[in-house]
Each structure stands twice: as C-alpha cells, then as structure tokens.
Amino acid sequence: MPEPTARTRHPLPPARWPTAAEAAASRWFSPVRLGAHVVAATRTWVPAMVPWRAAEDGSVTEDVLAWYRRFARGRPGVLVVEATGIRDVPSGPLLRIGDDRFVPGLARLVEAVREASGGATRLFVQVIDFLSIRRRPTPEAYFGRFLAVTDELKDRGARALADPRLRTAPEAEVRARLLAATREELVAWLSPRELEALDRGARERVTDVHLPHVRDLPSTLPPLFAAAAGRARAAGFDGVELHYAHAYTMASFLSRLNTREDGYGSTFEGRLRLPLEVLAAVRARVGDFAVGLRFLGDEAIAGGTTVDEAARFGVALARGGADWLSVSKGGKFEDAKPPRVGEAAYPYTGPSGHECMPTVYADARGPFGRNLPLAAAVRAAVREAGLSTPVVAAGGIATFAQAEDALARGDADVVASARQALADPDWFEKVRTGRGAQVRRCEFTNYCEGLDQRHLQVTCKLWDKDFTPGDPTVRTSPDGRRRLEAPDWSPTDRHGTL
C-alpha cells in the first residue's frame, strides 16, 4: 500500500456533545454481550496501549496500577490491558503473563480497575507472542561479531569483489574486508537478510523454518497461549484478547507473506490454521471464559492481506469460537523506517504504521474513522455467515457522533478509542453525563506514539499544559518534565477548565 499522498493537516471533526438523556438513549452507551458470561455496560472500549510502565522483569508496578486506575475512572465499558507477553523471557518493561508468579501482580491490577471503575468496567488482557528483533548494530559490531562468516559468504564475496583469495582467507581478514567495503560492494556481497540485519537489526520471521524454535511454533504456541489465558482467568480478568494483529507472530501467520510450506502457511487455510489451533487450545483450557481476538482488516503493506481475505478470516475465527473480533490495520515491520544505530525497528513508523495510528497529517480521507470500513466489511461477512460475534472498530474516533453513527450504520458493535481516551481518560464519563464540552480533545499528532517508539513512559502532551515542572504533588517522568497521569477531573466540576 503506498504511503498516503498529498498530506494535509485535517481539522478535528466538529463535536456536538449529547445531553445526559441523549447519551443514556444512545447505542454507544448501551450494553453489549461479549461471550457467555460477560456483558459490558456500554459499547465504549479502550483498546490495548503499551505505556512502558512494567518492571524490567515484566511484573506489575505501582505505575502500571496508576495507569489503569486512571482509565478505569472514566468507566469505559471495556478496558484492554496492553500487549502482555506469553513467554517467560526477558523483554524489558513490558507486562508478562508467562509464568504463575505474574498472577498475584495481575490480580492486583484487576482489583485496582474494579475499585476505580466502581465495577462498571470489564477488564480484558491482550496476550502476545513476538519473535526476536535486534537493535541496529554498528558496522563494527555487525562485521566484527554478529555476521556468521561461512564458506558460502566467502564465496559470495569472492564473486562480488572478483577476488578469489577471499574463498580461503582467514575469518579475521574477511571481517576486515567487510568493514572496509563500500556500500556498492556490500550490496553485491551480502544477502538481502544480511543487509537488512546491518541496516535495521536482524529480525526473525515465521518463515525462518531453518530455525528450530520458529519451525516448531505450531506446537509451542498453542500451549503457551492456553497457559496465559488460564493465568488471566486465575488473576480475575473478565476475558483475554489474543493479539493476532500488527507486527507480531500470530499476525505473521495470517499474513499473505507467510509462505511456510509445512501446512501453516501459503494457502488461505494454511495461514489460518495456527490462529485457529491457538484459539481452540485456549478454549479447551478456559472453557467459556471470554476469549476474543484482535486482527488486521488490512495489513497495508505491499503483497499483504487485504480486507476481502480479512473478512473471511473473521468468519472463520468467529466460527472457531472468538467472543469478539477487534479489527485493526497495518502496524508492520516490513515498511518501518530504518532505526538509528542502537535502536530497534518500530512497526508504527512507516506507511502501515500511519494506517494503524493515523494522524491529522493524512491524505484526503483524513484520520477520523479511517478504518471503519474494515470493521464494517468484517462484520458484514460475519453476519452473512449467520454469526452474531461482536466486532470492535478503532482508528481516529474522537467524537460521540462518530461512534454513534458507526453503530447506527452497522459498521461495528463496539467503538473503541485509544488516543482520545489517553488524552482524556474521563471522556466517556464526561460524554455519558452530558459534560462533553469538558472533553480534552486529542490532537492526533502522535507525541504519545513517539514516546512509545523510544520505549519511554507514554504520556499525552495535553496533560502538561497546566503543569509546572517541579510540582511535588504530581508524579512525573524521570526527567521531571512530563506528568505520568492525566490531570484529575471531578464529575461534579460542571465548568471544569480541563
């Protein structure tokens, strides 16, 4: 998919906020069933957002509790906890659910949200698997240590540089030649994957079946996801969301770029096979606990899956027992910008990343409700197949009218907002109680996403408007310059100036 062209800055959509009575009678604030035992009081939803607040060992911290408590006070119908790793491997300050020792911390998180929302919010946790991605190395490190010097590499070098002596040269000499090579020589010498590892950092793919741990994913992942779902249930969550979207393992199985030839790729059925097997394993473990999933309505990359196939995936996954289908778009590594040396590629930096989290600097379609047609197509196919599985839409939802119109049109059953909820976690409550004029409106310029990209604690630039660095009553980022939490709002503050 080409990068949106002719970008212009789009104004925020005008907002006419409902009265409390209008909100009470609205679709968006009406209940929705999500599985056998879960009813969300409203169709408002905060999708998963990684805030970089977990401990280095992946456990829940006070900052994590504060982050989710703050969203819960806005009483969304559903709050989805950030992508949480199903493996018990170090992955920095990202939440993990890959071992029973994480359960007590996650149970505290459940308790915190229940208390802060007065029991109004249903809490799900998104569970994720991802393959290894390395930071972009310095050429010295890459040629000095990381690149494997094989006979095959020497042979390629001999041909590329027309220097037969390279075939028998000692390893140290080959490494020195590589380091001294010009760009043109490297392009001729290195394989595309080696060049990618140099320019962007090495990244594993689900098609790397020469690597035993990648080849074996179809047998290792179902029990890992099932155990994670079991822990989510044990911790007291209302449900679990399988992360089949964006740049990660399960989305890569669904991808049209998945050319595995072991029955888990290449064909439509093959690409769907592991996602269905994971879902079945999770179901077998947790019974009628609520289990939904998030997947891509469009990968938004060259050669990637588009909406027609995604709609068919939706039907199959709904048939396979998903309790909701949350539809996202893009967010892939394939078109991500090359990172700086020492940093890892980030899947939201390229054109597909823009499709995932569109900004006001967009093509003529603009960012607002940009991805609703994908949810609409998935929902139409699911309904046509006779299934009533709820479909969740997200992407540039910034007003009550947008959400209400999307529901009225039948684009979705639930309308989610990530960045608007980040800008103002109270916005659902403000709208519900007729105080929409007090909503602090997201500007959709992605300051928050820039922090995420640098693995810094995510905050919203609007929170800092009336904040004086150094205020001892406010919890801040380590440099003391940014609020870690949205400013307080009291529902009794009719004329609040937030």
Ligand X SMILES: Cc1cc2nc3c(=O)[nH]c(=O)nc-3n(C[C@H](O)[C@H](O)[C@H](O)COP(=O)(O)O)c2cc1C
Q: How many residues bind ligand SF4 (CB under 6 A)?
A: 13
| Smallest separation, CB 423 to ligand X (Å) | 9
Q: Which is nearer to ligand SF4, 268 or 447 (CB)?
A: 447
> Residue 314, Cβ neighbours under 10 Å: how many?
29
Element of type H or E holding 290:
strand 290-298
Angle at 11 between CA 8 and CA 12, to 5 degrees: 135
Interface with ligand SF4, residue 362, by CB under 6 A: no
Indicate which of ligand SF4, ligand X, none lies near residue 458 (CB less than 5 to 8 Å, by partner kind).
ligand X
Residues of span 259-298 touching ligand SF4 by CB under 6 A: none
DSSP string, 194-252: HHHHHHH--B--TT-TTSHHHHTHHHHHHHHHHHHHHHHHHHT-SEEEEEESTTSHHHH
Q: Which is nearer to ligand SF4, 313 or 368 (CB)?
A: 368
Indicate which of ligand X, ligand SF4, none lies near residue 445 (CB less than 5 to 8 Å, by partner kind).
ligand SF4
| Smallest separation, CB 15 to ligand SF4 (Å) | 15
Residues of span 191-250 touching ligand SF4 by CB under 6 A: none
> Residue 51, Cβ neighbours under 10 Å: how many?
24
Among 369, 393, 126, which residue's Cα sits nearest to residue 251? 126
Residue 199: partners with Cβ closer than 8 Å, 6 or more residues away: 136, 338
Q: Which of 68, 142, 244, 248 is catalytic?
A: 248
Interface with ligand SF4, residue 419, by CB under 6 A: yes
Among 52, 56, 55, 39, which residue's Cα sits nearest to residue 346? 52
Residues of span 353-382 touching ligand X by CB under 6 A: 356-357
The whole-angstrom separation of Cα 94 and Cα 449 is 16
DSSP 462: G
Token couple for 464: 């800092």
| Smallest separation, CB 223 to ligand SF4 (Å) | 37
Interface with ligand SF4, residue 80, by CB under 6 A: no
Indicate which of ligand SF4, ligand X, none lies near residue 443 (CB less than 5 to 8 Å, by partner kind).
ligand SF4
Q: Which of 26, 42, 121, 126 binds ligand X (CB under 6 A)?
A: 126
The interface mask with ligand SF4, positions 425-464, x = CB under 6 A, is -----------------xxxxxxx-----------xxx--
Interface with ligand SF4, residue 485, by CB under 6 A: no
The whole-angstrom separation of Cα 174 and Cα 162 is 14
Is 361 one of the catalytic residues?
A: no
Among 442, 454, 451, which residue's Cα sits nearest to residue 399? 442
Give burial (CB, 10 Å; 0-12/13-18/19+) of 45: buried
Q: Name the one range near ligand X by CB under 6 A: 144-152, 219-227, 389-397, 470-478.
A: 389-397
Q: Which is nearer to ligand SF4, 85 or 395 (CB)?
A: 395
Interface with ligand X, residue 397, by CB under 6 A: yes
485 phi/psi in degrees, rounded to 5:
-130, 155
Q: Which of 394, 406, 439, 484 binds ligand X (CB under 6 A)?
A: 394
Provide Rg for the chain, Cα atoms.
24
| Smallest separation, CB 356 to ligand SF4 (Å) | 13
CB 242 within 8 A of CB 249: no
Q: Name the residues that contact ligand SF4, by CB under 6 A.
A: 419, 422-423, 442-448, 460-462
Q: Name the residues that contact ligand X, by CB under 6 A.
A: 47-50, 82-83, 126, 243, 245, 294, 328, 356-357, 394-397, 417-420, 448-449, 452, 458
Give the residue numbers annotated as catalytic, written as ranges.
248
